[in-house]
Structure 1
Amino acid sequence: MPRLWNFLDLSTPERRANPALGQTPTEFSPNEPSECLCALSDWGVIHVHGADAAAFLHSQLSNDIQSLDTANARLAAYCNAKGRALALLRVLRTDAGLLLFTHKALTDSLIRRLRMFVLRSKVTLDDVSEAIGVIGLVGAAARPPLQRLMGSLPEQVGGVQNADEIRLIRLDCVPDRFALVVPGRLLPELWARLANTLPVVSSEAWRLLEIRAGIPTITPATQEAFVPQMLNLEPLQGISYSKGCYPGQEVIARMHYLGKLKRRMYRLHTQTATAPAPGEIVRAGTGGQEAGTVVTAAQATPESCELLAVLRIELAEQNSLLLNGAPLQPLELPYSFDT
């Protein structure tokens, strides 16, 4: 766990002095409406600032960054020249620049790569993962303490409410799901207050909620494996086709205007006591033909898990699917696709 979250470590003096800080994650009940709190310690945070910060990111990411204001956050992909995703990010504008949220394991490599293209632009990129924490909150019980803290809540998905140095991003509407972006020095006290209101759950429980929302995650195991359309970034509004050039733009635009998408991301369920790792292979039941790749997975019950996987469309819709020999059942995603 990052040092920022050390106050949750059971062995620290802070935790021993204030048990509420380190409330043990409760068992997640996936079949009932959930109200919970989660330390999103696997979220890396990059601060991009300088006079050219927005223009620079606009030229690097799949979404429109120039028009982004402080009242909204956007999903975007950072791709290589072949249009394959190196990272998925949530982008948030602040008065001091822009914040990029991505999987923490990718933060260092992402900063190094982006710095290669700064050239003469007035842009600085800093890893602030140890200075800014993100708390996940879910459910109707989260609304009253958040309203007291923020004054009001963003009602649209992607909406942002700002209160001094704290920012609240609306992630979903059903259920209510938020990400609270907090300076590190305020994190222990704010966590203790919220932990007295909501049960604390593990990062795997949060990952399950992301899966049910159809939100993909790129990890080191799946870097450069998918173009953004395969990850459903079109219905998730993570691609702009009118913004101009960025790495991989030609491939991504050609897929949109001239090509036919042969793979896309599906939500699935399987009986297993161990969730599969990102990058594991899904096979078609007849003959064991490779059908696709696991993007992310999480336990839903001790005996079953849910996952997102990018699959060949013709195999996903015409064949039974297997993962490590166990059957996969399709589940609905909360968004639709253009036909």
Structure 2
Amino acid sequence: MSSSEENKFIVLDKTSTIKVEGDDRIQFLQGQLTQDINLISQSKALYAGFCNPKGRLLAFMLCYAAYDAIHIQLDSSIKESILKKLKMYVLRAKVSLNLLEETFTSIGFVGSQALIERDIKIPKNHLDIVQYHDLIIMRLGQDGERYQLMGEAFKVSEFIKLNFAKYSTMSVDDWNNLNILDGIPD
């Protein structure tokens, strides 16, 4: 992406994050989600589904390792119901589930200029992750330069101020269209 008109960003305020922590977090999620949670690492995220007992998909989510926890990003409109359903299955597992509200946020952006200017390692493949000063930067899609940045809200806000002066804002529809082109369901 060479021209500044191609560099855009959006605050992903229609998504929410559930933090899953505790000694049994991987085992617990392995039994609840449609993905091999053991494949998640500090450098790789995965998509997963959460289904009801009959196998009907209730939520499509992005799962990634963050610090000593696993974060589950999902649509904000279903955050409370999914959190409640997941908590029903905790039983004796050493795990806690908490909704990260105002303290945690995500942005999406197109164009790697902000990463190059800060000499930040660019994630190479779809769902690859790099860490940068307590922020998580993930590549989305195989083609193009599309990324998501997650972290504590004040750190993300500071990153935006320092790095996105040459970026324009992007509409939700434009971001959703890019998701569709990358095969990411809504």
Q: Same fold (TM over 0.5)?
A: yes
User: Would the aligned equivalents of 1:77 and 1:86 in 2 still touch at CA under 8 Å?
Assistant: yes
Q: Which has the higher contact order (CA 8 A, sep 6+)?
A: 2
* Pair 1:135-2:107 in alignment: yes
Higher mean displacement: 50-59 or 126-135 = 126-135
Partner of 2:37: 65
Q: Which residue of 2 aligns with 1:124?
A: 96
Distance in 2 between residues matched to 1:182 and 1:152, nearest whole Å: 17
In 2, the alpha carbon distance for the partners of 1:195 and 1:164 equals: 17
Which digits, 9 at most, give the CA deviation of each residue in 1:205-234, with x for residues without a partner?
A: 1111112222112xxxxxxxxxxxxxxxxx
Unmatched 5+ stretches in structure 1 = 1-32, 218-339
1:154 to 123, 144, 153: 123
Matches within 5 A, 1:107-256: 107-139=79-111, 143-149=112-118, 151-217=120-186
Cα distance, 1:34 vs structure 2: 4.1
| Cα distance change on mapping 1:130 and 1:150 into 2, 3 Å | farther
Q: Which residue of 1 aligns with 2:53?
A: 81
SS of alignment partner, residue 66 of structure 1? helix
Q: Over residues 222-274 of structure 1, what are the superposed CA-to-partner deviations in whole Å (9 max), with x where a residue is unaligned?
A: xxxxxxxxxxxxxxxxxxxxxxxxxxxxxxxxxxxxxxxxxxxxxxxxxxxxx
The CA distance in 1 between the partners of 2:109 and 2:119, in whole Å, is: 14
Structure 2 unaligned segments of length 5 or more: list them.
none
The 8 Å contact of residues 150 and 163 in structure 1, kept in 2 or not, is answered as no
**1:80–1:149: structure 2 CA closer, same or farther, 3 Å change rule?**
farther
TM-score by length of 2: 0.91
Q: Distance in 2 between matches of 1:129 and 1:90?
A: 17
C-alpha separation in 2, matches of 1:174 and 1:153: 14
Larger Rg: 1
**Structure 1 position 41, deviation (Å):** 0.7
Change (3 A) 1:90 1:149: farther
The one-letter code sitting in structure 2 at the alignment partner of 1:110 is I
Aligned mates of 1:95, 1:75 — CA distance in 2: 19
Equivalent in the alignment of 1:52? 24
* RMSD of aligned alpha carbons: 1.6
**Which whole-Å CA distance do the structure 1 matches of 2:164 and 2:44 have between them?**
27
Normalized against structure 1, the TM-score is what? 0.51
Distance change >3 Å, CA 163–CA 209, structure 1 → 2: same
Deviation at 1:94, TM superposition (A): 2.2
- The one-letter code matched in structure 1 to 2:159 is L
Aligned length: 182
1:109 offset after TM fit, Å?
0.8
